[in-house]
């Protein structure tokens, strides 16, 4: 399993139903939505993506689209450990609507999702095998129930000469993450597609770069990074001496 997501969706009702009916997203409408969600930021258009590929944009890039009744934003910046701490202005923008956050990262088997109705948080879950349950607010949603009941245990691979491992959670977060993505947004990243799935690969998202007008531009950020790397000097190697002290191998 290798899926990663950082996704926000605002909808007037059921998200999958809304996404099944969308066409080409108007650029001006989408830019206006981005300005509402990111006041004070400079918004520059860049190459877009699809909903299928755009749920995890490159760092610093936002993929977004706005249609009557539903708005979609893909952005790594919404991948926060505690969804209940989503910035207040992003939650406030969901007044009178449903807001869905979905975030997962396959490298650490982390999943977080949340649902707000009319600005009120009704469900939030964040967990990973290393951190355990980070946040668990509200009653589990119907698609979660088989996982909490133990009907979807995680498959853990162990070698014949090793003791069988016990997964620290009753299910694999990424498996629940795919179920959450399908139930809340209408499609999944991995596994077999289902007949009713939203065709996410045909839904185009516009691309944007967000800039802080009072911060360094991209070229200056890259220059700062180069200076920091140069200031660290070449890597040095150390080994342990007989007395346990560190010895610089370059000086041997």
Q: What digits encode the pLDDT tens for the residues 84-133?
A: 999 999 999 999 999 999 999 999 999 999 999 999 999 999 999 999 99
Indicate whether 74 pLDDT > 60: yes
Poorest-pLDDT segment among 45-49, 146-150, 218-222: 218-222
Domain residue extents for the chain: 4-215
The H or E element that residue 168 is part of is none
Per-residue pLDDT, averaged over 128-139, amounts to 97
Poorest-pLDDT segment among 25-39, 98-112, 202-216, 229-243: 229-243
185 class by beta-carbon count within 10 Å (0-12 exposed, 13-18 middle, 19+ buried): buried
CA distances from 188 to 16, 118, 195 (A): 11, 25, 12
Query: How high is the pLDDT of residue 217?
Result: 56
Query: How high is the pLDDT of residue 158?
Result: 46
Indicate whether 159 pLDDT > 90: no
Indicate whether 235 pLDDT > 80: no
Tens digits of per-residue pLDDT, 168-177? 999 999 999 9
Annotate 174-231 with three-state secondary structure. HHHHHHHHHHHHCCCCCCCCCCCCCCHHHCEEEEEEEECCCCCCHHHHHHHHHHHHHH
Per-residue pLDDT, averaged over 205-217, amounts to 82
Query: How high is the pLDDT of residue 192?
Result: 85
Indicate whether 233 pLDDT > 50: yes
Q: What is the DSSP letter of 245?
A: -
Tens digits of per-residue pLDDT, 21-39? 999 999 999 999 999 999 9
Per-residue pLDDT, averaged over 49-58, amounts to 96
| Cα–Cα distance, 57 to 206 (Å, whole number) | 11
Q: Model's pTM, two decimal places?
A: 0.82
Confidence of residue 15 (pLDDT cuts 50, 70, 90): very high
Of residues 228 and 90, the one with the higher pLDDT is 90
List the structure tokens of 38: 């990111």
Proportion of the chain above pLDDT 90, given as a percent: 73
Residues 78-109 as b/e (b if ≥16 CB within 10 A, e otherwise) read: bbbeebbebeeebbebbeebbbbbbbbbbeeb
Proportion of the chain above pLDDT 70, given as a percent: 80
Annotate 47-100 with three-state secondary structure. EEEECCCCCCCCCCEEEEEEECCEEEEECHHHCCCCHHHCCHHHHHCCCCCEEE
Task: Report how far apart the first and last C-alpha atoms of the chain are (Å, whole number).
Answer: 45
């Amino acid at each position: 399993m290798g899926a990663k997501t950082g996704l926000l969706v605002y909808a007037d009702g059921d998200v999958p139903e809304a996404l099944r009916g969308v066409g080409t997203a108007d650029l001006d409408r989408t830019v206006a939505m981005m300005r509402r969600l990111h006041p004070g930021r400079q918004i520059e258009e860049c190459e877009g993506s699809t909903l299928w590929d755009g749920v995890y944009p490159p760092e610093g890039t936002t993929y977004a689209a706005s249609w009557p009744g539903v708005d979609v934003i893909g952005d790594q910046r919404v991948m926060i450990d505690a969804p209940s701490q989503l910035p207040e202005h992003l939650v406030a923008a969901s007044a009178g609507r449903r807001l869905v956050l979905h975030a997962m990262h396959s490298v650490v088997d982390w999943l977080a999702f949340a649902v707000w109705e009319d600005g009120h948080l009704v469900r939030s879950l964040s967990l990973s095998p290393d951190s355990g349950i980070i946040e668990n607010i509200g009653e589990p949603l119907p698609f979660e129930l088989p996982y909490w009941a133990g009907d979807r245990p995680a498959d853990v691979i162990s070698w014949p000469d090793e003791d069988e491992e016990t997964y620290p959670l009753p299910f694999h977060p990424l498996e629940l993450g795919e179920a959450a993505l399908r139930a809340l947004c209408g499609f999944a990243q991995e596994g077999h597609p289902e007949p009713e799935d939203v065709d996410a690969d045909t839904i185009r998202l516009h691309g944007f770069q967000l800039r802080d007008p009072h911060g360094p531009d991209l070229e200056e950020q890259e220059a700062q990074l180069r200076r920091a790397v140069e200031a660290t000097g070449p890597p040095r190697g150390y080994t342990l001496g007989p007395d346990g002290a560190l010895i610089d191998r370059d000086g041997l």
